[in-house]
Chain A
Amino acid sequence: MAATTTPMLEVDDLRVRFATPAGTITAVDGVSLTLGERESIAIVGESGSGKSVFARTLINLLAGNGTRTGTIKIGGRDIDELSTAERKHFFGVQAAMVFQDPMTSLNPVKRIGAQLTEAMRYHLKMGKEEANDRAVGLLRQVHIPSPEKRMRQYPHELSGGMRQRVVIAMALACEPRLLIADEPTTALDVTVQKAILDLLDDLRAERNMSLILITHDLGVAEGRADRIGVMYAGRLMELATAKDLFADMRHPYTQALLRSIPSTDMASHTRLHPIPGRPPDLLNPPQGCAFAARCRHAQPECVDIKPNLLESSGDHWYACHFPVGTSEGRAALERNETAGVTAAGLPLDEAAEEFV
């Protein structure tokens, strides 16, 4: 992250709200983020954490009932200040997206070739021949065998892994500098997942792209991203380099998330710890910390006051009043354990935890 160059992506106090018949939902609640050139960041969160909405908002895919505030700058350009002419060829060129389910993200009635060349012809005004040649090259780059043949095929003639490669090739068509991958491997077989993630890694290196990887799986994020942001109820809870996050996590939510997923490093039969309770109701968000109701550290302060995302040391940010690994955090946990219940009313005995 060279400080001298313009960051690839700057997001400042991004808020996304959806008007629903039941009321307004705040899906993204004040997220700020900077992503350098060639840098990769993973945004990790449960479903409903707002990570997908965040990703889609970056590339101008907000649903009709959504409103956005806060600024988004891609390659130094504020997306709200683009002229109509610039805007026409901005999204899909500067930034592109890979979606979760390759079974549904390709148009079933159009040939692979037509879908691949479309953006090149539309944005880059390429002729048919040139676009075709480049599309074949792209298919080769994403390691699709006999690309000429694939160009003439329809999506249903390809396997899931192949289709996701096609989706990636499509996203790369106009040589974006920022690639957003929204759960790119969730819908795929485990055996294919690694191959797709490796491919994204290689392509990022080859093409000097910045990458935002949206995932619910900390395991996917580990080793794939320079930095990891943990999102919960529309807010970033913790943001750190991947190494720091795993070695020195601060947010009780990050800790809980890690304890809830199996890892290959664990001894067999290691007990997993599900996170008690449910994510907060976004129609009526809690006044204080969104995680307080499920947090083992929760104190009265957590219920009342929303913690801000603050930098502690060397690019490690977290939003917590009583962080893990600090004396305040340890004291808070001890208090709760002694009382057997947190300030938010969560019982702490192990037996209760198991039956959640």
Chain B
Amino acid sequence: MGRVVRRTGFAIILLLTVSALTFGAMNLLGDPLFNILGPAAADTTPAGVERIEAARAEYHLDDPLPVRYLRWLGDLVQGDLGVQFSSAGQPPVADLVVERLPRTAVLLVLAQLMATVIAIPWALLAAPRVDSWFDRLSTVSTFLVVALPNFALGVLLKYVFAIRLGWFPQTYTADAPLPDRFHQLLLPALTIALPAAAVYQRLLRDDLVSTLQEEFILMARSKGLSRARILFRHALRPSLFSFVTVFGLTTGALIGGSLVVENIFRIPGLGSAIVEAVVREDFPVVLAIVVVVASVFIVVNFVVDAVYAVIDPRIRR
């Protein structure tokens, strides 16, 4: 119980720090006035100045930065993410997040699932055959996939499977029926999944190789159990630590990586939203997305922590 409280406190401090730093950074970038008013922000006529003053007052832009941050924080706690500065009519940020988040979320969940489903059997096949041709080929291909830039892999997959073979649509269409949209997300997800799978395979394979040297594996073999059973029932679980740790940490990085993929496959997701927002200096949007991403990251690693205890009874307390 104390552990949960400690972890929650840690998560809150982390969120505060991340959002405060982003808040500061966005204000260093430029005067939000321009984003709210557009070219009118440079209007020096009395009417123009009046509008500028009105906007300053409405958005509290004259207050010192810490005060504005606290005000933003107060709104956030009440569920108000503010308005989009740069969009016509200044709709709520929440609308954008609600529209974009599910796509990226599905994309990433799909990608992590694929990466896991690829990596585990791959590692299980390679580990018992250290330095066999299969293991060597695995090593070479994992390095290849990891070294290949994300966009190159995405373009390559798109060319082969979408353009040449026509198995998948080339782009995402937001108003297509649900099964179609799912189908449209498979190839982008694979683009994200492959490098992640390669990293997971390396880690899992190495851990499996050392687990297989343990005496309890010899004991299991002496019981006359089949190879497959020993791998799945005895070796896999104690070998999951590095994989699970990196799985959690990668989740954060993948959100950044999804940006490129969303671009290649024209998916209007969170990744493209944050790029647009940064370019337009629309900082309520940037802040909202940063907070969402940080929260997801924290939650995932929270879960990873819990998974450790599931894997190994020795760390249960």
Which of A's residues lie within 8 Å of B, judged by CB?
A: 56, 59-61, 88-93, 96-97, 99-101, 104-110, 118-119, 122-123, 154, 156, 167, 170-171, 173
**Shortest distance in angstroms between A26's beta carbon and chain B's nearest beta carbon?**
22
Decide if the interface of chain B is mainly helix, strand, loop or mixed. Answer: helix
- Interface residue? B224 (CB, 8 A): yes
Contact of B216 among A106, A122, A123 (CB under 8 A): A106
- Interface residue? B266 (CB, 8 A): no
Complex alpha-carbon distance, A225 and B126, angstroms: 43
Complex alpha-carbon distance, A106 and B238, angstroms: 12
Instruction: Determine whether the beta carbon of A109 is less than 8 Å from that of B237.
Output: yes
Interface size class of B (residues with CB under 8 A): 20 to 34
Binary interface encoding of chain B residues 216-235 relative to chain A, with 1 for a CB under 8 A from any of its CBs, else 0: 10111111111001000110
Please, which residue of chain B has its CB at the minimum distance from the CB of A111?
B313
Residues of B close to A101: CB separation below 8 A: 215
Complex alpha-carbon distance, A91 and B221, angstroms: 9
Residues of B close to A61: CB separation below 8 A: 218, 221-222
Contact of A107 among B220, B221, B224, B229 (CB under 8 A): B220
Instruction: Determine whether the beta carbon of B225 is less than 8 Å from that of A108.
Output: no
Instruction: Determine whether the beta carbon of A154 is less than 8 Å from that of B313.
Output: yes
Instruction: Determine whether the beta carbon of B219 is less than 8 Å from that of A105.
Output: yes
Residues of B close to A91: CB separation below 8 A: 222-224
Contact of A109 among B215, B225, B313 (CB under 8 A): B313
Instruction: Determine whether the beta carbon of A109 is less than 8 Å from that of B238.
Output: yes
Q: Name 27 interchain pairs, CB-CB below 8 A, sorted by A.
A: A60-B224, A61-B221, A61-B222, A88-B224, A91-B222, A92-B222, A92-B225, A96-B222, A97-B219, A99-B219, A100-B215, A101-B215, A104-B216, A106-B216, A106-B219, A107-B220, A108-B313, A109-B237, A109-B311, A118-B223, A119-B224, A119-B225, A122-B223, A156-B313, A170-B219, A171-B222, A173-B223
| In the complex with contacts A122-B229, A154-B314, A107-B222 CB distance below 8 A | no
Complex alpha-carbon distance, A298 and B223, angstroms: 44
Please, which residue of chain A has its CB at the minimum distance from the CB of B239?
A109
Instruction: Determine whether the beta carbon of A59 is less than 8 Å from that of B222.
Output: yes
Instruction: Determine whether the beta carbon of B314 is less than 8 Å from that of A90.
Output: no
Residues of A close to B220: CB separation below 8 A: 107
Contact of A90 among B222, B224, B229, B237 (CB under 8 A): B224
Please, which residue of chain A has its CB at the minimum distance from the CB of B312?
A109
